[in-house]
Amino acid sequence: MIGPSKVEVWRVDLSGTRGHEQEKERPALVWRDLDHVKMAIIIPFTRTVERENLRYTHLVTPTRKNGLTDESIALVFQIRAIGKERLVKKIGELEEDEITSIGAILKDLLRL
């Protein structure tokens, strides 16, 4: 399996972006906590379901465990590091099968 055994869903503040980067406060996966440098590797979500047609994305259905309120598309191709001060509030955790699926997409994206 690629990635951590626990992937958390957080509200993150992505204000101050450029171009086609995801912006505003929104849910995102915290894929890896880089506590030693006060940063986190995140994968942002969008509720624009049409984005599911893009390569390197994954549809996540809301569950009580993940805390999402709408069907959301994990934009794996927009993986990035952010300062931990951008983490607003933990809302849930991703299921193990979702971690495995997104991990496979990430492996393909990064050519690992």
Distances 24 to 11, 13, 21, 53, 65 between C-alpha atoms, Å: 10, 6, 10, 22, 24
Hey, CA dihedral for 96, 58, 11, 84, is it positive or negative? Answer: positive
Decide if 107 contacts 1 (C-beta within 8 A): no
Q: For residue 5, with 0-12 CB atoms within 10 Å meaning exposed, 13-18 middle and 19 or more buried, which class applies? A: exposed
Predicted confidence (pLDDT) per residue in 61-74, tens digit: 999 999 999 999 99
Residue 94 confidence (pLDDT) above 90: yes
Q: Find the largest Cα–Cα distance for the chain.
A: 37
Reduced to 3 states, what is the DSSP secondary structure of residue 36? helix
Residue 93 confidence (pLDDT) above 90: yes
Q: What does pTM read for this prediction?
A: 0.88
pLDDT number for residue 18: 66
Q: Quickly count: other Cβ atoms within 10 Å of residue 3's Cβ.
A: 19
Residue 58 confidence (pLDDT) above 50: yes
Query: For the chain, which domains are there?
Result: 8-109 (2.30.30.110)
Residue 15 confidence (pLDDT) above 70: yes
Decide if 64 contacts 100 (C-beta within 8 A): no
Arithmetic mean of pLDDT, 43-63: 91
